[in-house]
Amino acid sequence: MATVFIPAQLRELSGGLQSVELEARNVRDAVEQLDVMFPGLKERICTDGNISPSLQVSIDSVITSRGMIAKIQPHSEVHFIPAIGGG
Q: Is 64 helix (H, G, I), strand (E, B) or coil?
A: strand
Gap between the Cα atoms of 10 and 20, Å rounded:
13
Residues in Cβ contact with 31 at an 8 Å cutoff, skipping those fewer than 6 apart: 41, 42, 45, 46, 68
The nearest distance, CB 24 to another protein, in angstroms, is: 17
User: Smaller CB distance to another protein: residue 13 or 28?
Assistant: 13
The nearest distance, CB 84 to another protein, in angstroms, is: 5
Look at the chain and count its residues.
87
**Binding residues for another protein, per CB under 8 A?**
5, 7-11, 18, 43-45, 47, 52-54, 58, 61-65, 77, 79, 81-87
The nearest distance, CB 23 to another protein, in angstroms, is: 20
